[in-house]
Amino acid sequence: FFSGGGGGGGKTLLDYFSLVILCHKLQESMLSSASSFRNYRGVLNWCVVMLVLSNARLFLENLLRYGILVDPIQVVSLFLKDPYSWPAACLVIVSNVFIFVALYTERKLAMGSISEKVGLLIYIFNLTVILCFPMVVVLKLPSITPVGGAFTLGVYTILFLKLYSYKDVNRWCRVRTQVKARSLSRSLSCPSSPSASSCMQSHVSYPGNLSLRDMYYFVFAPTLCYELNFPRSESIRMGFLLRRLFEMWMVPIIRSSMKPLQVCSCVPNHLIWLIFFYCFFHSSMNFVAELLRFGDREFYRDWWNSETITYFWQNWNIPVHKWCLRHFYKPLLRRGAGKLLSQSAVFFASAFFHEYLVSVPLRMFRLWAFMGMMAQLPLAWFVAKFLRGNYGNAAVWLSLIIGQPIAVLMYVHDYYVTHCQDDPTITEAL
Ligand SMILES: CC(C)(COP(=O)(O)OP(=O)(O)OC[C@H]1O[C@@H](n2cnc3c(N)ncnc32)[C@H](O)[C@@H]1OP(=O)(O)O)[C@@H](O)C(=O)NCCC(=O)NCCS
């Protein structure tokens, strides 16, 4: 290298010395916020390793003392009081009736056998019954456990949001077709986005989408927003599917290892919430999406970087946020409602559903969940006005670490006072 070998040797030596002579440049330390460095993947892995290590001792201790805590009989007893009566499962099976009513109504509307007004009336009736019927059954039937009730109401709420979306999208397709027909367009079908069509195998256009197969694909797909042609992935990746399945099975084990800490502070409660976020929004949804080859995997965005409460609600639960924007918020804005009124209406509806999903299965109406959700509006205003950057991010984390366990504690306390004060086994367990 130094002798250079040939005519170019001197030039190479010069290059070398020019490079080694300068070894400093103006730059920030990586951990400084002024540096543009943002890759903290190693730190995240360190957190996971620390979490596993700090819980391993507890996990082993539990295993030796109590054996495996994930007892399938116990899990089943959360859903069932009496093994001969399966009210929650029966309710979920009955929900198919509402799906058939929606599909049948859409077919009639597409054929022009019923008017838009009659179709809307049928939908209003169908959607109202979807919310009221399981509520009445859960309240009246003592054999339904709180977990079974919450699961059933969750299924019905998801179905309500899905069928609402189904109604809107099919109506938009009809309006589009009519507008096109009026403007003498030759195309009678609903267009799809050009980028999406490239990865689609079969392209459906209205009213060809009104089939049982299409309806049930939407019912099981991990989204609340209906579309005629969902983006699809090319194949099912078995490795990916198994990894998500493994993660889903890990959650009850980690949760059990935290049991002894649960009563001490709100931090384990918060950790369990984080683990469930990962399990539900990442593992389960990706598992279902992979199985159905559902292409849009944006189930959450980086809510952990939220510097405002608004950013948190825009990014933490994307399926619900997407539904709120598409079927509630934007239609309200289009009808001339102000931004604040529309936002308040969305949070009011969300507060209603949160309360519905907690109060009905527990059979007690305390409005803690409702108030917690409605409190997001003034909290969002406060954080946006007075806190910026990292302070805003810390405020969002604090509201999650403290606010949510307080609401849970309120319900646990009230449930204990009203239902189990006299039951020595439950008193001992708490
Ligand atoms: C209420 C809520 C929908 C507001 O969402 P947001 O993103 O803050 O609303 P923004 O005002 O920023 O506007 C969003 C969209 O509306 C559009 N928009 C805003 N004002 C508009 C107007 N006057 N006319 C038409 N469109 C308008 C914006 O362009 C934007 O469109 P884009 O999505 O295509 O970019 C959101 O906070 C939310 O989803 N809240 C409830 C969340 C919830 O309960 N989740 C439950 C989890 S368990």
Query: In this structure, are residues 370 and 354 in contact, taking their beta carbons and an 8 Å threshold?
Result: yes
Find the 98 Cα to ligand 1 centroid distance in Å: 29
The alpha-helical segments, DSSP class H, found in 235-338 are 238-257, 259-262, 266-277, 285-292, 309-315, 318-324, 330-334
Return phi, psi of residue 144, to 5°. Answer: -85, 125
Q: Given phi > 0 = left and psi -120 to 50 = alpha, else beta, which region is 4?
A: left
Residues 127-158, buried b or exposed e (16+ Cβ, 10 A)? bebbbebbbebbeebeebbbebbbbbbeebbe
Tokens found for residue 310: 């608004």
Tell me the CA–centroid distance for residue 217 and ligand 1, in Å.
27
Q: Which of 395, 367, 374 is nearest to 383 (CA)?
A: 395
User: What pLDDT shows up at residue 417?
Assistant: 81
Residue nearest to atom 4 of ligand 1 (CA): 343
* Rounded Cα–Cα distance for residues 409 and 240 (Å): 37
Our mutation pick for probing the ligand 1 site, out of 333, 354, 355, 358, counting the most ligand atoms within 8 A of Cβ, is 333
Q: Say which residues have a Cβ less than 8 Å from residue 305's Cβ, sequence separation at least 6.
A: 311, 393
What is the pLDDT tens value at each position of the chain, 430 positions in all? 445 444 455 678 888 888 888 888 888 888 887 888 888 888 888 887 887 787 777 778 877 777 766 666 666 666 666 666 788 899 999 999 999 999 999 999 999 999 999 999 999 999 999 999 999 999 999 888 899 999 999 999 999 999 999 999 999 999 998 888 887 655 545 555 544 444 445 789 999 999 999 999 999 999 999 999 999 999 999 999 999 998 887 766 655 555 554 545 566 778 888 888 999 999 999 999 999 999 999 999 999 999 999 999 999 999 999 999 999 999 999 999 999 999 999 999 999 999 999 999 999 888 899 999 999 999 999 999 999 888 999 999 999 988 888 888 888 888 888 776 666 655 555 5
Q: Pocket of ligand 1, candidates 273, 281, 325: which has the most ligand atoms within 8 Å of its Cβ, to mutate?
A: 325
- pLDDT, residue 109, reads 97
Ligand 1 lining (C-beta closer than 6 Å)? 310, 313-314, 317, 320-321, 324-325, 329-330, 333, 339, 343, 346-347, 350
- Give the pTM: 0.83
Q: Give the angle subtended at the CA of 91 by the CAs of 89 and 93, to the nearest 5°.
A: 70
- Mutation test residue for ligand 1: of 301, 321, 376, the one with most atoms within 8 Å of CB: 321
Q: Which residue in the list 270, 354, 413, 419 is annotated as catalytic? A: 354
CA of 322 to the centre of ligand 1 (A): 9
Please say whether the beta carbons of 173 and 228 come within 8 A: yes
The answer to whether 104 and 79 are in contact (CB under 8 A) is no
End-to-end CA distance of the chain: 76
pLDDT of residue 359: 93
Alpha carbon of 324 to ligand 1 centroid (Å): 8
Q: How far is the CA of 301 from the centre of ligand 1 (A)?
A: 15
Task: Clarify whether 24 is annotated catalytic.
Answer: no
Q: Is 43 exposed, middle or buried (0-12, 13-18, 19+ CB in 10 A)?
A: exposed
